[in-house]
Amino acid sequence: MNLDIYDYVYLITSIFRTYTTYKFMDVFFDTSDTNKKIEFFSYMLYFVVISFLYLAINIPIVTLISNISLYFALTFNYKSSIKNRIIS
């Protein structure tokens, strides 16, 4: 796999996007009862999966669908109703 400068910029900004997603989830959910190790692992897994899909497949609809489904999967780190999970 040959990466150009655009791919490197994407990976660096993807780190910031993952952190922004973490802060976004902090706004909608109570994070006091979460297991921090599992939470950290799930965000790292999110970063790896999204980055891999972008670099390996690079089909926008696949990236969009995986982003939405992984955002929803990240909400299961927190205690909340299904309504709040879908809204967030």
* Sign of the four-CA dihedral 7, 46, 26, 86: positive
Three-state SS sequence of the chain: CCCCHHHHHHHHHHHHHHHHHHHHHHHHCCCCCCCHHHHHHHHHHHHHHHHHHHHHCCCHHHHHHHHHHHHHHHHHHCCCCHHHHHHC
Tell me the C-alpha distance between 50 and 54, whole Å: 6
Q: What is the pLDDT along the chain (88 residues), one digit of tens a residue?
A: 788 999 999 999 999 999 999 999 999 898 888 999 999 999 999 999 999 999 999 999 999 999 999 999 999 999 998 998 888 8
